[in-house]
Chains A and B, each alone.
Chain A
Amino acid sequence: AQKITQTQPGMFVQEKEAVTLDCTYDTSDQSYGLFWYKQPSSGEMIFLIYQGSYDEQNATEGRYSLNFQKARKSANLVISASQLGDSAMYFCAMREVGGATNKLIFGTGTLLAVQP
C-alpha cells in the first residue's frame, strides 16, 4: 500500500531563510507522482509543486524546489527566502500515475511558522 510520511509536525524558520520540509514515501509502483500543497489557516489547498517518478531533474517553481531522491524515497520541499505569508500547513501527497482513480494519498502535514 502507498504511504506518505511527514515526520515534522511543526517547524520554525526565520524570515528570509531557507527551510526544508521532509517527506518520505513508500510504494511498489514504478510510476507515481509526488505533490506538495500548502494549506493556510483559511483552509484552501494550494498546489505548489509536482515531481514525476521518471523526472530526472528536481522540480522547481519559483521559491519552491523539490529535492527528489528516488533511491531514498524522499521528496523534500525546500522553500527559499521564507516570507511571513509562507506560514501554513504543508502537505506532501502521492498519486499513482495511470491508476484507475488517480487519488492522492496525503501525509500528516507540517505546520510551518515563519518568524520575523
Chain B
Amino acid sequence: GAVVSQHPSRVICKSGTSVKIECRSLDFQATTMFWYRQFPKQSLMLMATSNEGSKATYEQGVEKDKFLINHASLTLSTLTVTSAHPEDSSFYICSARDRKGPQHFGDGTRLSIL
C-alpha cells in the first residue's frame, strides 16, 4: 500500500488563487521530504528539500516566496503555490525516504490554473 499520501490529486482554480498541497508519510517519520515539479513529457525537477523544524532548501531558480514549504511535523510537509498563475500549471509530486529504503513518492497533484 501507499506509504506517502499526497492531497489533493487534482486542482483547478482561477489565476491569483493560492493552492496548498499536502504530503504525508504514512508508516514512517520523515525528517526530510522533497518536492518535485514535472512538465508534460519531461523529467522530475527537484524544487526544494523540506526539512522538519527548519527552513526548506530551494534549488536554484525556484522562487521561495512563490512556493512556500512548511514541514511542521515528522509526517507532514505542505507546498503552497502562492498567487498561482497559468504558468504554474504543472504536475507536483512529493517524496519521502524511510531511513534505509528508497524514496517513496506520493501520487502527485495536477495543478491547472485558468
Contacts and interface: CB of A to CB of B under 8 A. Distances in A.
B32 A43 contact: no
Interface of A: 35, 37, 42-47, 50, 91, 95, 101-109
A43 B108 contact: yes
27 contacts: A35-B102, A43-B110, A44-B106, A44-B108, A45-B93, A45-B95, A46-B105, A47-B103, A47-B104, A47-B105, A50-B102, A91-B43, A91-B44, A101-B32, A101-B49, A101-B57, A102-B32, A103-B34, A103-B46, A104-B34, A104-B103, A105-B46, A106-B43, A106-B44, A106-B45, A107-B43, A109-B43
Nearest to A48: B102
A109 B46 CA distance: 15
Interface string B45-60: 1100100000001000
Classify the interface of chain B: helix, strand, loop or mixed. strand
B43 A108 contact: yes
A42 B49 CA distance: 24
A101 B57 CA distance: 9
A107 B46 CA distance: 12
**Which one of B34, B95, B105 has the highest number of Cβ atoms from chain A below 10 Å of its Cβ?**
B105
B107 interface: yes
B78 to A, nearest CB: 19
